[in-house]
Amino acid sequence: MSLTPDLLSPRDDGTPIYLRLAAILREKVQQGEFAVGAALPSERDIADRMGVSRVTVRKAIDLMMRDGILSRKQGSGTFVAPRIEQPSSLLTGFSEDLRRRGLRAGSIWLEKSADLASPEEVIAFGLSVNAPVKRFRRIRTANGEPLALEHAIVPESFLPDHDSVTESLYSALAKIGHKPVTGLQRVTASLADALEAQHLGVLAGAPVLRIERRGYLTDGTMVELTRSAYRGDRYDFISELREM
């Protein structure tokens, strides 16, 4: 792994050394010298190799963490963080999507309950007043790292037993023939509030992607309403564009 002091040769533009070091490390990541999931050398090791102070190294690493390029695991070190790209044309659940990318999907459950539909949900699903629904609220993780805060609602008529949902909501719906086959998804940029920041392990005011998904059965009946807040430094949505 080539980290040598000559990479930080003097420049006349006055760019701070920690910014130049961050640019070098970022380039190493992009070139694959630091693979996704791989640990970086220690701050001391980088400082010794590059001939800079540990304070400079720490500032460079902190900058890359804010940009979502690196992540830190307490007691384990600093790692190259995965950045997940979701093609917007595919209707897949969170667990299935991460498996396709070689990542381990997980959940930290905050709520799994039965409730009455709110007036908004009655209108959205076309339900009768006070119809029962199932609520699922959890932190979704990728390789153990918080990625999204998710709140899903499904009418009880489509999912009688909320305890049947362990990891994948779509798998539970598929088992009883109610998995969505089409969907509409709205993505908006926003900032994390204090509670979202706490759950996602980011600072309040950090960028998030708010995603509302409505899933439908073959006959057009709406079966799922999911609202999620994804970490903006970890998640990208990719759209395929075609000429008309």
The fold adopted by the segment(s) 84-238 is: Chorismate lyase (3.40.1410)
Same topology between domain 5-80 and domain 84-238:
no
Neighbouring residues of 69: CB distance < 8 A, sequence distance ≥ 6: 26, 29, 80, 81
pTM confidence score = 0.64
Task: Enumerate the domain spans of the chain.
Answer: 5-80, 84-238
pLDDT of the chain along its 244 residues, tens only?
567 665 666 554 567 888 888 888 888 877 778 877 788 888 888 888 888 888 988 888 888 877 667 877 767 788 887 665 555 555 566 777 777 767 788 889 999 999 999 989 998 898 888 899 999 999 998 888 898 999 999 999 999 998 999 888 999 999 999 999 888 888 898 999 999 999 998 888 988 989 898 999 888 899 999 999 998 887 766 555 555 5
Contact 181, 164 (CB under 8 A): no
Neighbouring residues of 169: CB distance < 8 A, sequence distance ≥ 6: 93, 136, 152, 154, 224, 226
Residue 181 CB: number of other CB atoms within 10 A? 11
CATH 1.10.10.10 fits 5-80, yes or no: yes
